Amino acid sequence: MACRLSELVLECRDPRSLARFWCDVLDWVVLDEPGDGSLEIGSRAGFGGLQPTMILSPHPSPEQAKPRLHLDVNPTDRDQDAELERLLALGARTADVGQTGEESWHVLADPEGNEFCLLRARIPEL
């Protein structure tokens, strides 16, 4: 037997705003609003589907130290350059973490500054 990754939890100042951003990025929906200010977002298949869900948990001042974990995303229906344009239009911004410029990925930050990478390879939608 083994465990399965089911949820990612991200502390943030404004769960609703960040939910809109990540739902647009990943083509996800809000799955649950437990009433404590948090939101659970995920694929339309819901919790327990092929992808983990993300819990956006309200916190007045999330940790500002360098995160030990970040998300990587891949385009599904366009090339990397077109997806980069789309993500920037949604509110992502470029981030400098010391990359050389020779990388095959782009380092970005969501509207609250959480870093993530846009990888080059296209992968099929689930």
For residue 123, give the CATH number of its domain: 3.30.720
- The domain tally of the chain equals 2
Among 71, 91, 83, CA closest to 121: 83
What residue numbers bound the domain in which 124 lies?
70-126
Residue 55 lies in a domain: yes
pLDDT at 35: 92
Q: What is the pLDDT of residues 66-93, one digit of tens each?
A: 777 889 999 999 999 999 999 999 999 9
Q: pLDDT band for position 63 (50/70/90)?
A: low
Residue 41 shares a structural domain with residue 74? no
Domain assignment present for 65: no
Q: How many CA atoms lie within 13 A of 90 on its CB side?
A: 22
Q: What is the pLDDT of residue 5?
A: 86
The pLDDT of residue 68 is 73
Instruction: Give a yes or no: residue 10 inside a domain.
Output: yes
Which residue in 121, 113, 75, 84 sits closest to 97, CA to CA?
A: 113
**Which residue in this structure is represented by tokens 């344009």?**
85
Shared domain check, 49 and 77: no
Residues 49 and 79 in one domain: no
Pick the last residue of a domain from 60, 78, 110: 60
1 and 52, same domain (yes or no): yes
Report the CATH number at residue 36: 3.10.180.10
Query: For the whole model, what pTM was predicted?
Result: 0.89
How many helices (H) and strands (E) in the chain? 2, 8
Give the integer Cα–Cα distance in Å for 9 and 111.
Answer: 16
Q: Same structural domain for residues 75 and 49?
A: no
Tokens of 118: 């846009």
Tell me the per-residue pLDDT of 38-58, one tens digit each, with 9 for 90 and over: 999 999 999 888 899 999 999
Whether residue 125 is predicted with pLDDT greater than 90 in this model: the reply is: no
